[in-house]
Amino acid sequence: MASGAVSTVEETIGSQQPLLSAVDIGKVFDDRVVLERVSFSIQPGQIVTLIGPNGAGKTTLVRIALGLLDADSGTITRREGLRLGYMPQSLHVEPTLPLTVQRFLALALRGAKESAGGHEIEETLTSLHVPHLVHAQLNSLSGGELQRVLLARALLRKPHLLVLDEPAQGVDIAGQAELYSIIDSIAETQGCGVLMISHDLHLVMSSTDEVICLNHHVCCHGKPETVSNDPAYLSLFGAGVTDSLAVYTHHHTHEHDIHGNVIGEDECTHQ
């Protein structure tokens, strides 16, 4: 079975090899094509943002990249010894399970020396501006606090690649902007790559290096700066339109029907 293979490559110092590259990824669930020939790669320090409508296969693609799901076809190549940090969309902790933030974060360090734990946990929480949460119960946190604690868990592994599934979900507008600026500075200071799903393109624009517009296949990809000055973009978000797809100014030569299937030519051109 050659399809869906995961291979690793030699890591060379200062290598230009991507942290992770996906080539022609395909995935079918119950005869429904979720992903079709999706390719992308992430370099150290690069922030790649996945946008697309609901059901476009964004989370499926991220799960394949993380190794949580096998692709039906295509290849994922990870750098040898790549450490991943993963922040899921949300976290539901059973109310029957008592869990402090400290204990939750210490789970990231299992296998490592316990002695280092307390110090690192406090440092990480402080860097995310929430050191006071250390003894709080996970179930008592607000949406914004929980997202920061989840981010802290991912960061404690000192990841080479940070994978974030809608990191600002359930966070108020001010908090969202702060969260994205924190993510931006993490990529800059720690040099790790970031792959994230976001609907808030207007907020991640300034820090994103590459936007991938996904609807089962890669509709288009490119730098978000090219659209940031576009009056259409400003008017769209000024009017409160939150569909990030709309701001990405380019012309598709194809359209999607209601099931996301491509109608017409599978090509798109960028302005």
Partner 1 sequence: MSDFLSLFTTDFILYALAAGLSLAVVAGPLGSFIVWRRMAYFGDTLAHSALLGIAIGLLTGANPQLSIILSCLFFAFILTVLDRSPNVSTDTLLGILAHSSLALGIVVLALADSIRVNLEAYLFGALLTISASDLAWIIAVTIGVGGILLKFWNEFVAITVHADIAEVEGSRVDRLNILLVLLIALTIAVSMKIVGVLLITSLLVIPAAAARLLAATPEQMAIRASVIGCVAVVFGLLAAFVADVPVGPSIVVCATLLFLALTLLRGGKA
In the complex with partner 1, the residue whose CB is nearer, 108 or 201, is 108
**Span of 3-11, 97-105, 116-124, 238-246 interacting with partner 1 by CB under 8 A:** 97-105
Q: Counting contacts by CB under 8 A, is residue 100 touching partner 1?
A: yes
Q: How far apart are CA 187 and CA 163, in angstroms?
A: 12
Shortest Å distance, C-beta 37 to partner 1: 25
The SS3 call for residue 144 is helix
In the complex with partner 1, the residue whose CB is nearer, 125 or 203, is 125
Shortest Å distance, C-beta 90 to partner 1: 10
Residue where the block lists tokens 């501006």? 129
Per CB under 8 A, contacts with partner 1 among 54-73 are: 63, 66-68
Main-chain dihedrals φ then ψ at residue 113, nearest 5 degrees: -70, 130
Q: How far apart are CA 66 and CA 202, in angstroms?
A: 26
Binding mask 106-135 for partner 1 (x = CB under 8 A): -xx-xx------------------------
Q: How far apart are CA 233 and CA 67, in angstroms?
A: 35
Q: Which of 40, 86, 237, 248 binds partner 1 (CB under 8 A)?
A: 86
Shortest Å distance, C-beta 92 to partner 1: 9
Shortest Å distance, C-beta 256 to partner 1: 28
**What is the dihedral angle through the alpha carbons of 219, 224, 230, 236, rounded to the nearest 10 degrees?**
70
Q: How far apart are CA 151 and CA 156, in angstroms?
A: 9
What is the total count of residues that contact partner 1 (CB under 8 A)? 27
Shortest Å distance, C-beta 125 to partner 1: 17
Q: How far apart are CA 38 and CA 25, in angstroms?
A: 5
Q: Which of 9, 33, 82, 93 binds partner 1 (CB under 8 A)?
A: 93
| 76 contacts 20 by C-beta, under 8 angstroms | yes
Q: Which of 5, 98, 173, 251 binds partner 1 (CB under 8 A)?
A: 98
CA-wise closest residue to 55 among 32, 71, 39 = 32
Q: Counting contacts by CB under 8 A, is residue 94 touching partner 1?
A: yes
CA-wise closest residue to 192 among 10, 46, 41, 17 = 46
Tokens read off for 55: 């059901």
Q: Counting contacts by CB under 8 A, is residue 104 touching partner 1?
A: yes
The residue type found at 153 is R
Using CB under 8 A, list all residues that contact partner 1.
63, 66-68, 84-86, 88, 91, 93-94, 96-100, 103-104, 107-108, 110-111, 137, 153-154, 157, 163
